[in-house]
């Protein structure tokens, strides 16, 4: 299968490494031999219809900061959307970083992929947050497959579990912790007695939080995931404008201490219920499955039949997200391979 990879940051590079590492297993287990025929990064691109050499890609990126430096296959000055439309690839992986304030470029790339009949694996949450129903319509119209399991929970198959749970059953409500950074901050404040700023500093030091942590601590990242869960799993058309969002920026330590005295813990909870979609700090009992430590994520589902189901796992990270991409890739490979 010919693949075009867009975005060559932490996730993109992890995907290339993972595909190499899993090459034999993918062929043995699924009859799948992926070939990267193109890579686009922020400064240029590299293309080879016969497949690019992973080592050369990684080297060019490390030495020159762009894959456009790959000898004989580098491309500069072309528009992303044109490279995507004209590529021989059957599948596009969109692995650029999420920028909710400017979803435009990513959305244009997905549109270019779909209108030229390419399947898409997307881990950028921005286009899904603002235009999920439109993307779903576009993929169906063009009979192209569309997967995005890496957008929620990273390597932890949160969407897949939720999807299984709605089959023949009904999800009454969802309560989840979908952002590891904020969970880490709240957990430090609770367990180490740090105030918000100190806990945030520690999260940055450990590489959990970005230099600009706004998207995490203001609840935006969690809200994008709520939109994806609601649309993709619960079949509830919505966009980020439909989510009521309250973050944890500057949350007073007293609130956490006060909750602890009552046997409760404060968590940034994503909630999907009949009344609406919300993201807000909420208290959960300390023995609740949602009271997960450190930077873990947790999906809690209340089912009509069978009560509560919970899944705990790590929500982010380059290798974890790359695993999710590979999972989607295999899924698409089997879907398009079966008789349609």
Partner 1 sequence: MAELLGQLAYLAMGVSVVGELTPRSKDAIAAFGEKLSAPLFRKALELEGVRARAWTGQEAGLVTNERWGEAEPLLELSLYQVAETLKAPLEAGEVPVVTGFIAATQHGVTTTIGRGGSDYTATLVGAALKAEEIWIWSDVDGLMSADPRIVPAARLLERISFGEAIEMGLFGAKSMHPRALEPAAERKIPVRMKNTFNPTGPGTLISEEGGAEEELARSVLLVKDTALLTITGAAMMGRPGTAARIFQLMADEGINIRMIILSVSEAGICLAVTGSQAARARATLERHLLRTGEAHSVEVEDQVAILAVIGSNMRGHPGVAARVFAAVARAGINVIAIAQGSSELSISFIVKGDSGPEAVRVLHDEFRGAHRT
* Given 56, 134, 280, 303, the residue binding partner 1 (CB under 8 A): 134
Of 46-54, 93-101, 136-144, 289-297, the window that binds partner 1 (rule: CB under 8 A) is 136-144
Of 114 and 184, which has the nearer Cβ to partner 1?
114
Shortest Cβ 20–partner 1 spacing (Å): 35
d(CA 316, CA 300) in angstroms, rounded, equals 18
Q: How does strand 91-94 pair with strand 146-147?
A: unpaired
* Given 19, 40, 131, 186, the residue binding partner 1 (CB under 8 A): 131
Of 133-141, 145-153, 180-188, 289-297, the window that binds partner 1 (rule: CB under 8 A) is 133-141
* Given 22, 35, 99, 136, the residue binding partner 1 (CB under 8 A): 136
Beta carbons of 100 and 126 less than 8 angstroms apart: yes
* Given 33, 62, 141, 263, the residue binding partner 1 (CB under 8 A): 141
Whose tokens are 């499955």? That residue is 289
137 binds partner 1 (CB under 8 A): yes
3-state secondary structure the chain: CEEEEECCCHHHHHHHHHHHHCHHHHHHHHCCCCEEEEEECCCCEEECCCCCCHHHHHHHHHHHCCHHHCCCCEECCCCHHHHHHHCCCCEEEECCCCCCCCCHHHHHHHHHHHHCCCEEEECCHHHHHHHHHHHHHHHHHCCCCEECHHHCCCCCCHHHHHHHHHCCCCEEEEEEECCHHHHHHHHHHHHCCCCHHHHHHHHHHCCCCCCCCHHHHCCHHHHHHHHHHHHHCCCCCCCHHHEEECCCCCCCHHHHHHHHHCCEEEEEEEEEECCEEEEEEEEEECCCCCCCCCCEEEEEEEECCCEEEEEEEECCCHHHHHHHHHHHHHHHHHHHHCCC
Of 29-37, 132-140, 254-262, 327-335, the window that binds partner 1 (rule: CB under 8 A) is 132-140
130 binds partner 1 (CB under 8 A): yes
* Given 29, 31, 65, 133, the residue binding partner 1 (CB under 8 A): 133
Of 133 and 193, which has the nearer Cβ to partner 1?
133
Shortest Cβ 144–partner 1 spacing (Å): 12
- Considering CB under 8 A, how many residues would be counted as binding partner 1? 13
Shortest Cβ 131–partner 1 spacing (Å): 5
User: Which positions from 233 through 252 interact with partner 1, judged by CB under 8 A?
Assistant: 237
User: Which positions from 180 through 209 interact with partner 1, judged by CB under 8 A?
Assistant: none
Of 2 and 115, which has the nearer Cβ to partner 1?
115
User: Which positions from 66 through 125 interact with partner 1, judged by CB under 8 A?
Assistant: 111, 114-115
Our answer to whether residue 118 is catalytic in this structure is no
125, 225, 267, 304: which is the annotated catalytic residue?
Answer: 225
Of 46 and 130, which has the nearer Cβ to partner 1?
130
Interface positions with partner 1 (CB under 8 A): 111, 114-115, 130-131, 133-134, 136-138, 141-142, 237
Residues taking part in catalysis: 225
């Amino acid at each position: 299968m010919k693949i075009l990879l867009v975005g060559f940051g932490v996730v993109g590079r992890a995907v290339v490494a993972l595909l190499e590492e899993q090459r034999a297993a993918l062929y043995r287990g699924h009859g799948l031999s992926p070939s990267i025929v193109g890579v686009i990064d922020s400064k240029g691109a590299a293309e080879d219809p016969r497949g690019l050499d992973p080592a050369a890609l990684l080297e060019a990126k490390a030495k020159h900061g762009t894959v456009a430096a790959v000898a004989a296959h580098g491309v500069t000055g072309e528009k992303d959307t044109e490279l995507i439309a004209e590529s021989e690839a059957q599948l596009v992986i969109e692995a650029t970083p999420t920028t909710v304030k400017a979803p435009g470029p990513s959305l244009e790339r997905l549109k270019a992929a779909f209108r030229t009949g390419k399947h898409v694996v997307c881990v950028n949450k921005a286009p899904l947050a603002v235009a999920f129903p439109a993307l779903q319509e576009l993929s169906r119209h063009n009979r192209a497959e569309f997967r995005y399991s890496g957008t929620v929970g990273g390597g932890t198959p949160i969407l897949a579990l939720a999807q299984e749970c709605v089959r023949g059953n009904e999800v009454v409500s969802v309560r989840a912790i979908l952002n590891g950074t904020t969970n880490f901050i709240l957990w430090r404040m609770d367990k180490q007695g740090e105030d918000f700023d100190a806990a945030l500093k520690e999260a940055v030091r450990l590489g959990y939080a970005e230099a600009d942590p706004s998207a995490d601590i203001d609840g935006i990242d969690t809200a994008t995931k709520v939109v994806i869960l609601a649309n993709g799993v619960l079949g509830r058309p919505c966009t980020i404008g439909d989510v009521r969002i309250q973050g944890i920026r500057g949350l007073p330590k007293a609130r956490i201490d006060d909750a602890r005295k009552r046997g409760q813990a404060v968590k940034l909870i994503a909630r999907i219920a009949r009344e609406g979609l919300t993201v807000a700090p909420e208290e959960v009992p300390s023995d609740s499955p949602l009271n997960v430590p450190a930077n873990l994520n947790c999906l809690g589902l209340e089912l009509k039949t069978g009560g509560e189901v919970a899944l705990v796992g790590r929500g982010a990270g380059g290798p974890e997200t790359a695993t999710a991409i590979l999972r989607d890739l295999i899924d698409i490979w089997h879907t398009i391979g079966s008789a349609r």
